[in-house]
Amino acid sequence: MTAIYRREMQGYFHTAVGYVYMGVFLAISSVMFYALNLRERSSDLLAFIGYMSYLWMLLSPVLTMRLLAEERRTRTDQLLLTSPVSLPGVILGKYLAAVSVMLLTLLCTGCYVLIVALYGRVYPGELAAGYLGFALQGCAFLAMDLFVSGLCRSPVTAAIAAFGANLAMWMLDLLAAAAPGWLAAVLEFISLYARNEPFLMGQLSFASIVYDLSFAAAFLALGVFTLHARRVK
Amino acid sequence: MIELRQVTKKYGPLEALHEVSFTAPRGQITGLLGVNGAGKTTALNILTGYFPPTAGQVLVDGMDMLTDSARCKRQIGFLPEKPPIYDEMTVREYLTFASRLREVEARSIPAHVREIIGLCGLEEAADRTLGRLSKGYRQRAGFAQALCGAPPVLVLDEPTVGLDPRQVAEIRELMRRLGEKHTIIFSSHLLSEVQQLCSRVVILHHGRVLREANLGDMMEDGGALRLRVSIALGESRLLPALRSLPCVRRVKTLPTQDAAVTEAVLECDAAQDPQTQLFHLLAAMDAPLRLLYPERDSLEDVFLRATEEG
């Protein structure tokens, strides 16, 4: 698993993928930070994080599209699957690499916090809860998009399909508003955005933490199952 | 060392392999021969654990690939038909990655990679990215990857396909050298290549094993001995006499310019000492023997006969 993690990290930064992801993320986030905090002279970073959470929908596929689809297209999966590494090891190695790049990018947004701390007031507890929810939501999206990558034969298809899945996840909130009572409850329960709301209010929600982690674990397990099923077919 | 037992593989309704069984003994080079679509690649993919069979077993040193997958895979280095290489990596990075995958101890990886680079003649390309290398170098890098972790068994799927004659010769030489220490199984549809390198041959056709034998045994298949003769006697007198010999199964005459000379190939039963019977017959007929030598089947003859019968 470590070997695969290291290779994927190398892959992100030997190609443009890692730089494009970080560059676009930080460019958009800096525009948002300017619009929401600097221009408005606001120290409310939770609102900033709330808007930023829509970025996962757009950018998470950039990190995951190659992970399994590219291996399948170039047949390099033969190297991985004939090595002593287990299928969960393959999936986990790739997933953790994607999560690492995401966390590294989040770390860079720490400079916004520093700027606010210099000129205003930061509430560390609330901010930590906001960042935790943001990161967990990112982990959940990455797991789902990694699973989608395992279903596709080319990275481009994987990116488009993952974007579609992310969009569907966002639309759950809209559907919930229009759905009858019990269905709305189910949709809100599933929605990653609804799950993120307590964090955006500075609350530490264990239910949301467990949900986000379970969501990620379920899609990783599905990813393993997909690889296994394709081999047996 | 490696054994396929009654292996069947189905892709939906299509049966790619049907109850295939063969063994690759330790320390030998085994060639898997077959026309395109015979099932060679499927057999090798199953043998290396890339995917499992629909039915049957793969045994590596007595361990079952399905139940003891990681231990079995540690024993096998695999070069697929298309080398599994990452274009953005350098050769050295790629081999380092392959060594990590194969659980080589971190401290010894640099030396291990250097040794493999030397063995495969990749020194010049070691720090160049794989995406910029020629096909020959990429094939060699794929080959080198199979050596990472020093597996005792090498499985090579058409290792020389698409290479120029010089590269083919280099890869074959490398295989010959590695064959001294490793058990090698490789697939090919080049009969000359198999004949040059292998001590054991398995012929696959339409997903079934038609023949499995040591190369020498396969060439002398069926206890038949073919004798090429040239005898100073006309065909009209000689042929009935030759056909009357108990050891002779078939006589095939060859064109000749001299009517007083018969050129022929006698297909004989090797167990009946055909040379002695022939000597006595010709002595009795006072027919001088001008030429006599045993003619062996080429692997091509064996392969064509087997696939036609199959």
SS3 annotation, B28-85: CEEEEECCCCCCHHHHHHHHCCCCCCCEEEEEECCEECCCCHHHHHHCEEEECCCCCC
B300 vs A111: which has the higher pLDDT: A111
Instruction: Round the average pLDDT of chain A to a whole number and report it.
Output: 90
Confirm or reject contact between B139 and chain A (CB < 8 A).
no
Q: Where are the domains of chain A?
A: 2-232
DSSP string, B246-283: TTEEEEEEE--S-TT-EEEEEEEEGGG-HHHHHHHHHH
Report yes or no for ipTM above 0.90.
no
User: Are residues A83 and B93, on separate chains, in Cβ contact within 8 Å?
Assistant: no
pLDDT band at B114 (very low <50, low <70, confident <90, very high): very high
Closest-CA residue of chain B to A89: B101
B201 three-state secondary structure: strand
Q: What pLDDT sits at residue B297?
A: 66
d(CA B232, CA B167): 49
pLDDT band at A38 (very low <50, low <70, confident <90, very high): confident
Task: Report the CATH fold assignment for B2-219.
Answer: Rossmann fold (3.40.50)
Taking residues A20-41, report their average pLDDT. Answer: 91
pTM of the model: 0.81
Render pLDDT for A50-86 as a digit per residue (tens, 0 to 9). Answer: 898 888 888 999 999 999 999 999 899 999 999 999 9
Determine the residue among A79, A80, A87, A231 to mutate to test chain B binding: the one whose Cβ has the most chain B Cβ atoms within 10 Å: A79
The sheet with strand B208-214 has its strands ordered as B76-79, B153-157, B183-188, B29-33, B200-205, B208-214
pLDDT tops 90 at residue B294:
no
What percent of chain A is modeled with pLDDT above 90?
Answer: 57
Confirm or reject contact between B88 and chain A (CB < 8 A).
yes
Render pLDDT for B117-151 as a digit per residue (tens, 0 to 9). Answer: 988 888 888 899 998 998 888 988 998 999 999 89
B262-269 and B224-231 strand pairing = antiparallel
Task: Identify the DSSP state of A36.
Answer: I
Confirm or reject contact between A39 and chain B (CB < 8 A).
no
Backbone angles phi, psi at B54, to 5 degrees: -70, -35
Q: What pLDDT sits at residue A174?
A: 81
Q: What pLDDT sits at residue B185?
A: 92
User: Are residues B49 and A82, on separate chains, in Cβ contact within 8 Å?
Assistant: yes
Q: Which residues on adjacent β-strands are paired with residue B228?
A: B265, B293
pLDDT tops 60 at residue B222:
no
Q: Where are the domains of chain B?
A: 2-219, 221-297
pLDDT tops 60 at residue A151:
yes
Determine the residue among A17, A70, A74, A82 to mutate to test chain B binding: the one whose Cβ has the most chain B Cβ atoms within 10 Å: A82
User: Are residues B98 and A2, on separate chains, in Cβ contact within 8 Å?
Assistant: no
Q: What pLDDT sits at residue A8?
A: 92
d(CA B169, CA B139): 13
**Which stretches of B107-134 are DSSP H helices?**
109-119
pLDDT band at B221 (very low <50, low <70, confident <90, very high): low
pLDDT tops 70 at residue A25:
yes
> How close, in Å, is residue A28 to chain B by CA atoms?
28
Give the position of tokens 């898997």: B32
User: Are residues B84 and A78, on separate chains, in Cβ contact within 8 Å?
Assistant: yes
pLDDT tops 70 at residue B115:
yes
**Contact criterion met (CB below 8 Å) for B49 and A82:** yes
pLDDT band at B194 (very low <50, low <70, confident <90, very high): confident
Angle (CA) B231 B237 B238, round 5°: 35
**Which stretches of A34-86 are DSSP H helices?**
45-52, 55-64, 69-74, 77-81
pLDDT tops 90 at residue B218:
no
Q: What pLDDT sits at residue A199?
A: 86
Determine the residue among B65, B79, B85, B86 to mutate to test chain A binding: the one whose Cβ has the most chain A Cβ atoms within 10 Å: B86
Q: What pLDDT sits at residue B252?
A: 87
Across the interface, which of B86, B100, B145 has its CB nearest the CB of A3?
B100
Instruction: Name the residue among A170, A164, A136, A168 with its Cα closest to residue A149.
Output: A164
Please say whether the dihedral angle defined by the alpha carbons of residues B297, B299, B305 and B309, taken in this order, is positive or negative: positive
d(CA B53, CA B69): 13
pLDDT tops 90 at residue A14:
no
Render pLDDT for B4-30 as a digit per residue (tens, 0 to 9). Answer: 999 999 888 888 888 889 888 888 899
Same fold, B2-219 and B221-297: no
- Per the rule left: phi > 0, alpha: psi between -120 and 50, beta: everything else, B223 is left
Contacts of A86 in chain B (CB under 8 A): 69-70
Confirm or reject contact between B70 and chain A (CB < 8 A).
yes
B121 three-state secondary structure: coil
Confirm or reject contact between B73 and chain A (CB < 8 A).
yes
Confirm or reject contact between B132 and chain A (CB < 8 A).
no
Confirm or reject contact between B102 and chain A (CB < 8 A).
yes
Region of poorest pLDDT, from A88-92, B42-46, B299-303:
B299-303
User: Would you call A19 exposed, middle or buried from its count of C-beta atoms within 10 A (0-12, 13-18, 19+)?
Assistant: exposed
* Residue B152, token pair as written in the block: 């005792």
Task: Report the CATH fold assignment for B221-297.
Answer: Alpha-Beta Plaits (3.30.70)
Q: What pLDDT sits at residue B249?
A: 85
Confirm or reject contact between B82 and chain A (CB < 8 A).
yes
Confirm or reject contact between A218 and chain B (CB < 8 A).
no
Instruction: Name the residue among B188, B190, B84, B102 with its Cα closest to residue B147.
Output: B102
Instruction: Name the residue among B140, B112, B110 with its Cα closest to residue B125.
Output: B140
Closest-CA residue of chain B to A83: B73
pLDDT band at A41 (very low <50, low <70, confident <90, very high): confident
Backbone angles phi, psi at B22, to 5 degrees: -160, 165
Render pLDDT for A74-83 as a digit per residue (tens, 0 to 9). Answer: 899 999 999 9
